[in-house]
Amino acid sequence: MVLRVLQVFSWSSRQFLDHADAAPLLVHAPPMRYNPASNTGGVVMRYWIVLILAILITTAGPANGQGKLSVRWEELTAGDFRDAIAKAQGTCLLPFGILEKHGPHLPLGTDLLNVRYVAEHAAQQEYAVVFPQYFAGQIFEARHQPGTIAYSPELQLTLLQETTDEMARNGCKKVVIVNGHGGNEHLLPYFAQSQLYKPHDYVVYVQWGHEATRKVGAEKSGPDWHAGESETSNTLVTHSNLVHMDRASSESGADQKRVKLPDNVYTGIWWYARFPNHYSGDGSAATKEQGEADVQGWINTVVRAIRAIKADDESLKLQKQFFEESAHPLDTAQ
């Protein structure tokens, strides 16, 4: 920008000197000092001030806009997308949320909003291309609540497969599903495992921002699993304008314990039996300070995962070897 300013100054000076009225003033006059009482000096000074401001305004915007690739898939131009894939080394994030009730005080898209926030901030530290908002996951246990979008099992798997296939066709050879919804804890590992059903030229990785098998807040007086203190604290950081703290105590998030079964017995109705309000914990206890620590830890976890996945040169090779051996299992050495 400085070079551009000097070039324009040089050109403008020549133009000004060529002006019939201005030339005598600049050629024959002694070095000019600004004099408020002098109309001529004021005119010249204003000329240069306006010129400098015009240069700064016209050059600052485009320079900033062109200097940095967005991490968001939808914001990239077609040409920039190609550069972004190269910069990301073919690593793309698919933040996976859901649309469901989150207690009486958080937005339906809490998981969707929080995981995208984390994925974008992580990708800004370790560059990766972030896919747009995705919410076609497992949420049958909340179908009785308003605003829940629960697609069929067949559509969930088909849409996710076609989405990752299309991402790979566009250069994403390392697709990282960043999970933000506890209800996906069985769906996503199964989807990743199903990638071995037929050959693919890319690898699917599933990253748990918060490990769903280790329930956050389980050490408290009661479960804090959904829209409670932890999740509400996080949302106070990511989208505070969507949090209604005054409503957090208007419903109970206590465990109802309506079914008595051993821990090693699973039934699909277990969540509804324990948390019919689709609320687990106490959101009124949330604080922004807790959320800041938790969200930053989540971002750091995703950053480490991106770096490890970028460095992973073995998974795709082994996957190819596996498919070759699977085509002729009788030839596999025993």
- CA within 13 Å, CB half, 39: 0
CA angle 22, 49, 27 (to 5 degrees): 25
* Region for 132 from its dihedrals, namely left if φ exceeds 0, alpha if ψ lies in -120 to 50, beta otherwise: beta
Q: Cα–Cα distance between 282 and 300 in angstroms, integer? A: 26
Q: Cα–Cα distance between 11 and 178 in angstroms, integer? A: 54
pLDDT reported for residue 136: 98
Among 165, 175, 130, smallest CA distance to 316 is for 175
Across the chain, how many H-helices and E-strands are there? 11, 4
Inter-CA distances, 57 with 64, 67, 189, Å: 12, 17, 51
CATH topology of domain 73-331: Rossmann fold (3.40.50)
Cβ atoms 137, 149 nearer than 8 A: no
| Mean pLDDT confidence for 211-236 | 75
pLDDT reported for residue 230: 95
Phi, psi at residue 105, to the nearest 5°? -125, -10
Residue 66 in this model has a pLDDT that exceeds 60: no
Residue 42 in this model has a pLDDT that exceeds 70: no
Residue 229 in this model has a pLDDT that exceeds 60: yes
Tokens 């070897």, residue?
A: 321
Domain boundaries, the chain: 2-66, 73-331
Q: Cα–Cα distance between 295 and 16 in angstroms, integer? A: 58
pLDDT tens-digit readout, 118-151: 999 999 999 999 999 999 999 999 999 999 999 9
Cβ atoms 281, 226 nearer than 8 A: yes
The two tokens of residue 237 are 């950081």
Return the exposure string of 40-65: e unless at least 16 CB atoms fall within 10 Å of the residue's CB, then b.
Answer: ebeebeeeeeeeeeebeeeeeeeeee
Cβ atoms 141, 272 nearer than 8 A: yes
Lowest mean pLDDT among 20-24, 91-95, 280-284: 20-24
Q: Cα–Cα distance between 143 and 100 in angstroms, integer? A: 8
pTM, full prediction: 0.79
Cβ atoms 142, 132 nearer than 8 A: no
Amino acid 225 reads W
pLDDT reported for residue 222: 82
The DSSP symbol for 329 reads G
